[in-house]
Amino acid sequence: MKLLAYLPLTLLMLLLAGAIWGKFAPRYDTDSKNPTVEICVATGSKEAILYVLVHGLDAQKEEQQAYWQTIRTLLLRYGDVATLSYPAHTMSNADPDAIAIAISSRVQAQWEQKQYTGVVVVGNSMGALLARKAMLYSAGKTTGQTTQHPAWQGTASPWSTSVKRLILLAGMNRGWDLSGQKPGDMRWYAYGFYALATWYGNLTHHGQLLIGMQTGSPFVADLRLEWMRWTRELKSTRGEPEVVQLLGDIDDLVGPADNEDLRVTGGDNFVWLKVRGTGHADILDMAPPVKDETPTIQNYRYGKFLAAVDQPFAMLKQQSEELPPPRDTDVTQIVFIMHGIRDLGEWSSQFETSLQQQVRNGPPGEKLAIASVRYGYFGMGQFLLRRDREKYVRWFMDQYTETLARYPKATKIHFIGHSNGTYLLTSALHEYKSMQIDHLVLGGSVARKEYDWKEIFSRGQVKQVRNYVAQDDWVVALLPRFFETWPVAWLKNDVGSAGFNGFDAGDSGTGNLAVENVKYISGGHAAFLDQITPIVQFLIPAIGQSPTTPHAIDSVKDRAWNWQILEYYSRYLTWTLWAFLIFMVIWLGARMSWAAGHFSATALLFYVVIVLEVLRWS
């Protein structure tokens, strides 16, 4: 029994050690940026075509090796087979971009050596993501590839121009997801395992390769946008490669929605072959039929894969399970509207009528789509937790990509955000280099006033920014502002007081950035809603019309006395408010526990639950 008494303390110490290691491990993880990627080429009966195989997770297992050998034996009938290998074990911290670059370089060397007439790429699970990213690196269509990865060397004759067909075996086109969008066939224990593994990986800095394959992660989100733009560019030139996705009907990691991007961007060049009775791990378990023996499920899968390799694309299209979804090719402009915390975005309707009228008054042939994306009620407690905020950043990036896929001809993309919506957008711009916004309007912004707009503009992600600064916005002045004060600023949190103090880049004019602080409009946290007309004119100027700036108070002496008092408190005394709130929460919990007598532990637990619920819904 004494040993059991030490168990909680032991677990706590292990968690502490893991957290410390997870904090400092990235500094010493030198192998993550230079993963070992090898290529093994087998010569087939026909040498005109090169088949490139990119495996998924745990491909070194004996069972997986046997599956891939069956695939290689089949493909050797048609050409040379290049098998790529990379560190894909569960605990791998290899950088997926570095893997994709190495894959592209290895294939490029083999392609130049024998000058194949065509290339066929086969990617399984997360290997499908890496294979597509390698093609983008080969074509020079990735965002910031030369600065982020100096090892990358472009080439005048990339192998990706010879890719005829891309075969995906349960390809994770949108990454894997545990935020409520999981496939319906995922069992509860599998969901629990992935959730626990993700928590452990983030705590101890293990398995970052797999974690980087989540839906909405920078690698996946940038890949989706880059692929969409590249294939649309290819349509108008040489034509995009044929894409065949083989997906099991009981896949517990990849759902039918994963095909959304490829269905939309590929159009007539995408085929989905549903493989019945097959889960995510089973897709590779195939075997050629044996004469005079009863056909098995392995023979059935083998036949599906053989068709994907051998049949003309016109025949495969006849077997496709789903046609491309309808797209609106008339839409030329998109306006995203994003609400904040403790807010369901009812106000977004106030902009729609004015925006649509402005477009009708503009040049003929223009059509506007309003993307009022909503993430539901988001309480103050969730806002204070960075991980919860980041989860919705990934969600927003997914929505952004889906919207662009739905409107392929849109050339102008604008954004209106309030409160937490401004955080989601500014954080997404920082994390995802492929995101692009033309005109950006922020109201009640909780982004840091030191936000690095210079970097955003240097990457060509934004054209103009207008930030509405309200003189009575006590929400921003007293809450997000706290994270900019010393010593809290040392924690490098990414929220701040731009909605109350303005962006430094807009005030200083550093580098002539197109960042405009509209100071100081009358009203509180939602004061920008009184500026609909100038906002609409800023986003979509009519013919012969210049964007209108609303009346603002710019001189210090004209600012309202209440703003000056609030600014002083915000700058010097914000921490006292937080200290008082924390003290009151602890004091009340202690009193409740003491008053409960023998049930003090139960009362304390009950109190913690109440506090968490208040934070969640306040």
Tell me the C-alpha to C-alpha distance, in Å, between residue 25 and each of 18, 95, 217: 10, 15, 20
Q: Looking at residue 613, what is its pLDDT?
A: 72
Query: C-alpha dihedral over 120, 123, 129, 130, to 10 degrees?
Result: -80
Q: Tell me the C-alpha distance between 75 and 300, whole Å.
A: 17
What amino acid is encoded at 513 in this protein? L
Pairing of strands 80-85, 38-42: antiparallel
Residue 278: half-sphere exposure toward Cβ, Cα within 13 Å: 26
**Helices vs strands, H then E, count in the chain:** 23, 13
Provide the 3-class DSSP secondary structure of residue 333: strand
Structure confidence by residue, pLDDT tens digits, 278-321: 888 889 999 998 887 888 999 999 999 999 999 999 888 888 77
Q: What are phi and psi of 516, to 5 degrees?
A: -115, 120
What amino acid is encoded at 211 in this protein? I
Q: Tell me the C-alpha distance between 330 and 470, whole Å.
A: 37
Question: Angle formed by the axes of helices 2-28 and 188-204, to 10°?
Answer: 60
Decide: 444 and 421 in contact? Cβ < 8 Å. no
What is the side-by-side strand order in the sheet with 437-443? 368-373, 333-338, 412-418, 437-443, 462-470, 515-521
CB-based burial, 531-549: b 16+ in 10 Å, e otherwise? bbebbbbbbbeeeeeebee
Q: Tell me the C-alpha distance between 264 and 270, whole Å.
A: 9
What is the separation of C-alpha 109 from the centre of its chain, rounded to a whole number of angstroms? 32
Q: Tell me the C-alpha distance between 212 and 199, whole Å.
A: 13
Q: Looking at residue 134, what is its pLDDT?
A: 94
Q: Which residues pair with 266 in a beta bridge?
A: none
The per-residue pLDDT of the chain, averaged, comes to: 81
Q: Tell me the C-alpha distance between 137 and 37, whole Å.
A: 16
Which two tokens mark 41? 């080429």
Contacts of residues 195-200 at CB distance under 8 Å and 24 or more positions apart, as own/partner, are: 197/90, 200/18
DSSP symbols for 106-123: HHHHHHHHH--SEEEEEE
End-to-end CA distance of the chain: 43
Provide the 3-class DSSP secondary structure of residue 607: helix
CB-based burial, 34-47: b 16+ in 10 Å, e otherwise? ebebebebeebeee
Look at residues 412, 460, 462 and name the one whose alpha carbon lies nearest to residue 442: 462
* pTM for the predicted model, two decimal places: 0.80
Q: Tell me the C-alpha distance between 365 and 501, whole Å.
A: 40
Q: Tell me the C-alpha distance between 170 and 280, whole Å.
A: 6
Look at residues 220, 209, 218 and name the one whose alpha carbon lies nearest to residue 92: 209
Q: Looking at residue 207, what is its pLDDT?
A: 86
Contacts of residues 559-562 at CB distance under 8 Å and 24 or more positions apart, as own/partner, are: 559/471, 559/520, 560/471, 560/472, 560/520, 560/522, 562/471, 562/472
Ranges in the chain, pLDDT < 50? 145-152, 156, 551, 553-557
